[in-house]
Structure 1
């Protein structure tokens, strides 16, 4: 069973905050969450001289905390134990990573605007630095989740994400589908028949699925789809499958074996995050990777 001891919700004082708080309530009503931390960091380097001149000794932390408290009271009150944390630090990513460690946060919720409104730079940095799984909620996403898609490449990372997805589906009565995107070694065409290569590739992948189902009986009945990349990236094919299948949640495993943090996220999760996907994206680290 999926249970979340502590969850962090990152707010930025924009209109998406209300949406995030309401979605947090939706999560807490469906999953056992012990405590939620609503957080915001005042980036001190962005406070202009004009601001300081006009407002002087104004305690901006108290003002912001009060603003967040109003939203939480309206959309979250009496739902789950929670706390509002407002900090004043020059580096938002570092202070949020510190909060994750300090409060043993298992899941962080991030809001995401469409690309025409935001570069997404901070979100990408947070994905690389936060030592916990991250649930990205686009501003256009719905709260109701019925159909889940999980890509798999047969790595330990993706198998962990798949098993979590299956637990979530069983717990909440959701429909789960697996997708595997495969590529053909096109440099050998036309020496090798493309039709023959495709048939062979699918035989190999089906064998891998059969072996996976033997090792993890709980996913034996989960339907899977094989998709050839065929000139598209893996992320692009996953995106096309999302649109085709009308899914409500995408669960992707994150790599963590690379000692260089900037390279540990993986190219597919990075590309998916940067797309204008209008459903929640759950980026999952295993406990072993986090440790």
Structure 2
């Protein structure tokens, strides 16, 4: 059974906070969660001299904590063990990474605005450095969740995401589907006809799925779709499949095996995060990768 010892919810004092807290409550109602931390960091660099001169000795941390408390209590009164943490640090991503380690956070919930409202720069940084799995909730997303899509590339990371998704689907009675995006070696055209190349590529992938199902019988009954990348990126095809299949959750495994933080996230998760998708995105690390 999937359970979360500690979950962190990152709030930014914008309109999305209300939906994010509501989504956190939805998770709490369906998955065992021991404790929830609602956090916000006030970047000290944003507190200008003009601000301090205008507001004087107002304790901004207390004011923000009170605002967050109003939102949280509307959803979590007598429902969960939670704590509100407001900090004043120059670097938000560093303090949040520290909180993840200090409180042994297993899952971080992060809101995401559409690209016309935000660059998503902070979110991208958090995805790269937080040592835990992350659940990204776009402002246009809805809940609860019924249909789940798991793209796999047959790597250990994607198989971990698949097993986790299968457990979640069984636990919550969700409909789960797998997809795989393949590419053709275009440098061989026109020596080999495109039709033959597609047929051969799909045969190879189907053999991989057959081998996978033999090794892991528990995933044998999950339907899967093969999609050719063609003139689109892998992330682009995944986004297209999301819209086509009317899914409610996308799950991607993160490798995290590169010692350079700027390279550990992977190109597909990064591109998906920077795409205006309308469903929550669950980016999962295995425990071994986190350690």
TM-score, normalised by the number of residues in structure 2 = 0.99
3-state SS of paired residue (2:191): coil
- Spell out the pairing of 1:42-57 with structure 2 (5 A cutoff): 42-57=42-57
State the shift of 1:142 in Å: 0.5
Deviations 1:139-161 (A, max 9, x none): 11101211000000000000000
Q: Distance in 1 between matches of 2:290 and 2:80?
A: 25
Q: Distance in 2 between matches of 1:85 and 1:108?
A: 14
- Does residue 108 (structure 1) correspond to residue 113 (structure 2)? The answer is no
Deviations 1:85-140 (A, max 9, x none): 00000000000000000000000000001111111010001000100000000111
CA contact (8 A) 1:18 1:75 kept: no
Q: Distance in 1 between matches of 2:219 and 2:135?
A: 23
Q: Distance in 2 between matches of 1:26 and 1:166?
A: 19
Which residue pairs with 1:151 in the alignment?
A: 151
Which residue pairs with 1:231 in the alignment?
A: 231
- Spell out the pairing of 1:29-40 with structure 2 (5 A cutoff): 29-40=29-40
Deviations 1:210-237 (A, max 9, x none): 1111111110100000001111100011
Which residue pairs with 1:131 in the alignment?
A: 131
State the shift of 1:196 in Å: 1.1
- Spell out the pairing of 1:1-291 with structure 2 (5 A cutoff): 1-291=1-291
State the shift of 1:18 in Å: 0.8
3-state SS of paired residue (2:209): helix
Deviations 1:176-212 (A, max 9, x none): 0000000000011000121111111111111111111
Q: Distance in 2 between matches of 1:16 and 1:78?
A: 23
3-state SS of paired residue (1:278): coil
Q: Distance in 2 between matches of 1:187 and 1:195?
A: 15
CA contact (8 A) 1:249 1:282 kept: yes
State the shift of 1:57 in Å: 2.1
CA contact (8 A) 1:22 1:75 kept: yes
Q: Distance in 2 between matches of 1:170 and 1:134?
A: 21
CA contact (8 A) 1:39 1:86 kept: yes
3-state SS of paired residue (2:66): helix
Q: Distance in 1 between matches of 2:55 and 2:283?
A: 40
TM-score, normalised by the number of residues in structure 1 = 0.99
RMSD of equivalent CA atoms = 0.7
Deviations 1:46-88 (A, max 9, x none): 1011111112222111111111111111122111100000000
Q: Distance in 1 between matches of 2:198 and 2:143?
A: 39
CA contact (8 A) 1:45 1:90 kept: yes
Q: Distance in 1 between matches of 2:203 and 2:181?
A: 14
Q: Distance in 1 between matches of 2:220 and 2:80?
A: 35
3-state SS of paired residue (1:230): coil
Q: Distance in 2 between matches of 1:107 and 1:68?
A: 20
State the shift of 1:278 in Å: 0.6
3-state SS of paired residue (2:149): strand
Deviating 4+ runs (over 3 angstroms): none
